[in-house]
Chains A and B, each alone.
Chain A
Amino acid sequence: MIRMFLLRMRRSPAKWAFPLVAGFEIWILQELRFTGFPIWSEVGAALMYSVLVLGPVAAGLAGLRAWVERRPALVDLDTGMVREAAVRRWLATAGEIGWVALAFLTGVLFLMAAVGPGATWGEPDWMLVAAAFLAVWACGFIGWSVSWLLPSRVTGPLVGLALYMAMGLSVSLDLTVGASWIPSSLERLTPFEVSRPGLRVAQVAIFGGFILAGVAASAIGVRSRRAILGLVVGLTLVVAGLVVAPVGRPAVAAIDPPQVCDPGVVTVCYHPAYSTGAQPVIVAVRRTMAPLLTAGVVPSRLAQYEYEEPAGVSVPFLMDPDPNEASRAVARAALAGAVGAGVCEDFEDRYRVWTVVEAWLISQAGYEAGQLVFDQTGQSHRLDPFFDPDHQAMYQRFVAVPDDDRIVWLAGHFDRLRSCDVGTEELP
């Protein structure tokens, strides 16, 4: 069986598409390494997400193979054979899907090589990797069976397109309305989330069910009783998986996640998964927060954003591999009181004061203050943090103030600054 599978793979036209598909997979995974840190939790999620592309490719290729195998001459030859029709059909399509699966495994190796040497905590979510691997096969068999039942040159590519749209929609629903019946693809992106094993089982059942149903559907009419049984069992697995999936819904916050702290004048605490690459971020956030600590307006403890800390115990910071961004985020969080809070934007006058202080905190630490944006070509640049020459002049005045006076001013105005209650006339 393995020898025949390898023979079909070796002689499959899909092998010519392999370098392209594997290269594309690596490119996708490179783009999907969300945080830029070597974190195991991102591996499974990125691989599952890449199924959005590999799945439709597998469906298209398998559909084209089904169309070829469905030609009357090959059907005549195939029908009089001894081995089970399902086995023969499985073999025929596996030779095509095998190359896409190999591209997926190339992606797994790429991520292992990219993440493994730097990973400092946890391990890959192998069940999610397995579920993603099965998902590639499941998409292929869906393409195969539909094309077998409706043989045409265009059926396979159309099924691929439909799958791409359906999976894209499911991810979109997952992100927007939290459709809990959909086995999530964007799950457990950070080590602060935990997955329940129920979802993994559900995903394996769903994708395994699709594979079984796909193989069985193409064998209907040859050994109908067994094929129908296979179809029923496969679809039952799919339905059972969909029913069980919400029970195992993950993306819940881990209870009491581990923490390592870098002691010093400012203690910086973060998840051990981020240890590799954390030092530049620690330096950035310490430097940025130094004036506020001197002024005594914030706690002398910085904790990574995802930790649930009682308000006021620590300043939250984001683990961003770009120290400029980490500096900007912690300055903003300190001034706003929380990460991501957009305060003062409704009060232009007071927002100017707020942004002057923010820009100064970042600049005195040695980083670039403007917001990082990307244009349509993917090129990045930083926006000017100031609205106009007056705003710029306001900043220059603030920078020119002696350090001790500025610290005194910060100590006296910090609480009101957070509440957007400091007007431009109050800025020194």
Chain B
Amino acid sequence: MPTAFLNARLIDPASGLDSPGAVLVENGTILDFGAHLFAGGAPSGVETIDCHGHVLAPGLVDMRVFTGEPGEEHREDLASASAAAAAGGVTAFVIMPNTSPVIDDVALVDFIRRRARDAARVRVHVMAALTKGLAGQEMTEIGLLGAAGAVGFTDGTKPVMDAQLLRRALTYSKLFDSLIVQHAEDPSLAAAGVMNEGELSTRLGLAGIPAAAETIIVERDLRLVELTGGRYHVSQISCRDTLEVIRTAKRRGLPVTCGVSADHLSLNETDIGEYRTFFKLSPPLRAEADRQAMVDGLTDGTIDVVVSGHNPQDPDTKRRPFAQAADGAVGLETLLPVILERVHNGDLPIADALACVTCRPADILGVDAGRLAAGAAADMTLIDLSKPWVVDADALKSKSKNTAHENRRFQGRAVRTIVGGHTVFQT
């Protein structure tokens, strides 16, 4: 039976649609939608869902998620990550290849996709390793991996340092129009650093990572992009100077895109307080001026996408002295609320904000998602823009509870998540 979503505020960032209306779904795809639909009244022979005037938007696409599957399922598996995603209004996410074993082989891409089909509530895409074993020395089989379904190539948490290798990868990937994704941090400058370098690292007696460790890699890579014309994406930027470098490159028309994590939009280094390891991230949380620059970059469109950077860690890896603790925070369930916070603060309109987590990541990845369109998959998120709520770590769906937003008050969240026409989450 077809399903009608009635009494909704439809927002489709790709087409600029923002109007009251309805959506009709059958067999997992959108048949029709718009203000005209069912304007005369409730249809018959159709299952109806009243949206109570909430925003019905394309489901969120999260470009950067870590799971523990395969290898460390006690931290997170595809099933638990997808439950967290559904609860956060995320209908598709991309997992990073930093698993055990590393996703650098066609069989592993295949394995993940099959596992996801069986176990996950939302759509799972795979980003494969750019170098074999993430060792930074030999290129993986970009063509075969892409054919198997890999949506991009990255060494995840490791920067590709060999300039010659990156140059060849950017050149070779043009054959398939593949996306090359960099984690921008110069390891020799970052060295033993565990947080942003500055007054606070000095006070805490922790080794710092200068902002230049990020900027210098992006500057170098952009030269290679210019040389090769390959499609290049910086997974997460964190500092003002990097933003400026990317802004200039975009103005010159280079094929470059970049993302920022929700945490870097909403937190800064002072949140570390007295060695709170849940705020130990990579790249590190930066100064307030950098955070503000990230918001500006989002507003003016220099930053293309917002990611959760979801990285589940358990007490074994987090309840340690700061320098020894693992990087990362879970974020699938707080991605949308952080973005809505920017909307409520007046930094950018709702449609632009949603574009950063719907059509733009879908376009960069080349996946069919992120749009309300006739014939498109019925992956949608119903959003209550004003619902106040408080983050309770224990209530998170993720197996790991290392949120950087515990007890934080948010306004607005996903109240229903729909994948292929089926409701996979509902408050």
Are chains A and B native binding partners rather than an unrelated pairing?
Answer: no
